[in-house]
Structure 1
Amino acid sequence: MATSIGRFNLVDALLDLDRDGPSVVLRLQNDGVKKQLVVRDGLLAFAESNVPEEHLARVLLDLGRITRADLRSISTLMRSGKTSDEAVLATGKVDAAGLAEGVREQAITILASLFAWSECESRILSAAAALDRPANLQMPLPELIMAGARRAVESRQLPAARARLEGSVSRSAAARAARLEPLLDPLEAAIYARTSNHIGVAELVAQARNGSARPEEIVARLILLGLITLESAGARPAETPAPESRAPEARLGEQVNEILQRFEVASNYEILSVPAEATTDEIQKAYHELAKAFHPDRFQAPKYSAEFCDRVQRLFTYVNGAYTTLSDPAARAAYDEAQLAEGRVEAARRVRVGADAENTKIAETLFHAGRASMAVRDFEKAGAHLKECVWLRPDAPRYRLYLGVAQSEIPKLRKEAEEHLLKAIEMDRMGIENYLALGKLYLKVKLPRR
């Protein structure tokens, strides 16, 4: 079916695929340019494009994984019948991990370019049309959307109608907000919190400049994601305002709570929103941006309650602790070693929460993190969080239930999932959800009689 971008919303289309979990090919075409996203069981397997700059080998060249001489070798191998993946591996310059990095970067690059298209033809095809390539990123589509939008803004690949930030913005009423809001980083969440009421772009950027060195880019990301709507100067939103609009302070309080919840189980790198290989300058820059947004001194006005100020103080304690550790080479090396030896969740628990913290509180925090990961279909990450919950509170059937549900989605862990679900039933024989989850597992493995 051919359609225009006006009736075909890329973000909504991908979120629908994430929700329904099909195996399909989303093929898009615009003036001879063809691109496609291959989805398997609701997760991105890979993306392809006929634009030379978006071919896998060119992406790996940009990443510094191969040289221009390797490009010629890869081209020769592909003419002899090898696939692009096989040709890349045959050079000996890229291993399986490097290939996966290239396939992921290629997918983000292609999706970022799609955000710039003002119109296109789209078709949804059977996944059988792309079974000749074994690559499978298993990347959650909401994660792809976020990465693509950030890249599109960074590289200025924006539709003409969205290239100029003029006029005003308002919070979108679209259902996509509930799916994407949990994936916002702290700075994005802070700016999004300020849009609970209709606000001029210039005013929003001016307010946010105290908290971010690049507020215009973050506003552009939120517009591109459809979380906020850009209106021309003088226009008012067409929809009727909600009868009970909340004060910006109330919404900011919710955002602080959400960020605190993420920080409880985040690594120091995740708290500062920097990669593990970040330089000292990048770490310092990230810290300064968070300090401008969340330093407790910014919230001394009477309109902020004592309880809210206490939560901000706790939040900034995490930020300060992460910066203190990562800005000191010796402390960072020790932290990295602990991360590698113990795993991210255990290290975060020991480093920031403390060995003498109450197990119940820690487990509940991890439980919410696990549920959030399940919501974006990251079942491996969810399983890691929920397994920690069971270790901390082996007497809680609810934790075993959700661990079993998460593991049920991972074929190699389904035997372990059965054990946890049976244990949940043994601990809570009146919990009907335990039996339902076990029944669904048996259907997955084609044992309905069980």
Structure 2
Amino acid sequence: MSKKIAIIDEDQNICRFLSESLKLKGYQVEVFNSAEAAQETIDAGKFDLALADILLPGISGLELCRNLRNAEATATLPIILMTAFQKETRQINAAREEFGANDYLLKPFTLATLHERIDKLIGVPATRGPARQLHVEGDLAVTPLPALLHNLYTLQATGLLHLERGERRKIVYVKDGYPIFVRSNLIRECLGKMLVHDGLISQAQCDDSLQKVKESGRLQGTVLIEMGLLTPEQLHRFLSRQVTEKLLEAFGWTDGSFRFLQGKDFKSGVTSIELSPAMLILQGIRRYFSDTRTAELLAPHRHHYLVQTENPHYRFQDLELNRRDAEVLALCRGGFTLEELLAQFPLSHRELEQFLAGLLTAEILESREAPVVQAGEEDLAVLHQFADTRELRQRILADYARLLSLDHFALFEVTRDAGADEIRRKYFALAKKYHPDQFLQKHLSEDLTAKINELFRHIGEAYQVISNPKSRQDYLDQISGRKKERQQDVTDILQAETAFQKGMVFLRAKNYPEALEAFSWAVKLSPKEPEYLTSYAWAKFKAYPGDRERLGESMQALQHSLDLNNRLDRSHLYLGYLLKQEGREREAEKQFEMAIKCNPRCTEALRELRLINMRRTRPDGGGLLAKVFKK
């Protein structure tokens, strides 16, 4: 018989995700929304493991843990506690030592991490569950979209979120908890209709462009550029806004259904959502929530004290705040209730209710029954601003290599006998600097994004280790071995970047054989870095002109680079050149269009589109791009 797990969490939707994922692993699962509901059933000894949130209504997760330890039937039951509150370090230590918990998970965490922790405690299930992807369904009237997006962020989920309301359909592409792209069946949300609505083009011009799209098979945005109605920069800005608007519109749905399908491999458009989940939640509530819906979100918190969370993964989500918002957030230190805060801004009551509802939903704010005192952060480091994408990549790789090579004490620049307050200050500074949201709009490759996520997790894990006296001592006993484990990876990263920079020097000098040799070495050491692959492919093509076999290899490398990051304009541009060399003009044209979508200032792609258009139009210069390029 398969092993049975009890899940105890007030959030029914989180329970649904956890339950379904564990069933797919082969476990039996029973869900409880309070400790009181779970206590009697678990006491009967019918479970192999309990997974409980620390903060539960009524009896807390800690008290439940102690009760289970004191009962003969559950005295040795493996227990994992979950918490979103970084300030609960003392409680976490107590959970292990005083209350008897076997392990704990700090939210957000991935389902894979949960599975690993459970497998360590009770072993891998003898029989696996059904061979299918995680599939979770629900009602948007019960789990509104803001809460659903935050659930996905908490679980760092990747997959497709299907939203339906009547005849309306939307598909949200989610990557590591971040919505990145949306498709919609609403006609009013198509590019032309939205441009007409905003007054950027007329309905007649929209109809004319659609006719040209049918005739040529080209993208409407490119056709509008050729007609002189949009510049590439205008198109890029509008597409970014369009994909965000498609998601925000669904915040207005008071009912409907959702279905989440977990997955790893999917391709989204080049134009993506560039807002953090917290910012999407805040904008969605402000623009689409009625006063009644906002009041429902705030009802449980009205007379509670608001405090900024100590969990850096939630606290440092990227937000665009106006002056008043920043002032209100600064007041959320645990000394004022929600009602008291609102009373201080009587002329902005509605806007502040929406603001606080958004931050509470995203767990940037916590509500406490009693006042708390939270230390100031005047001494926290300010996030370093990077100049451009290439400098950013170099900085990330250098920081990644350097910080992972350090022991936990050197990481935070503290001595081995440093006090808790000093460690906490240094931890918050690093966590803020390397929070993944800080890099949202940088269009990083998957490899770099993974390094940022790994570095952020490493900072959190390091803090947990050295902030606990017992685990700090255990770490000191094994510190030298850990440094050796990471040394080779760090060396490879630095050598790969050095080889890439060397190759760029040769490429600029048009010494293609030497450039190819350097890029080959960079790709060998770091095969998932798209910019390395793109430069390698281009150098190979240039080093062996006329060699069809090498041409094919270069095209494969460029396609692989685009699979890793489809936002690199140079990858699309070079692939366009190679397709053009093959005589595949229509496919080349598509790549040049994509290069412009990635970078509206890609003059080489604009020039190629102009040349293609000139070959199709009259000799008198009356081509579709004439209006753009006569200027």
Under a length normalisation based on structure 2, what TM-score does the superposition of the two structures give? 0.36
- Tell me which of the two structures has the higher relative contact order, counting C-alpha pairs closer than 8 angstroms and 6 or more residues apart: 1
> Which structure: larger Rg?
2
Under a length normalisation based on structure 1, what TM-score does the superposition of the two structures give? 0.48
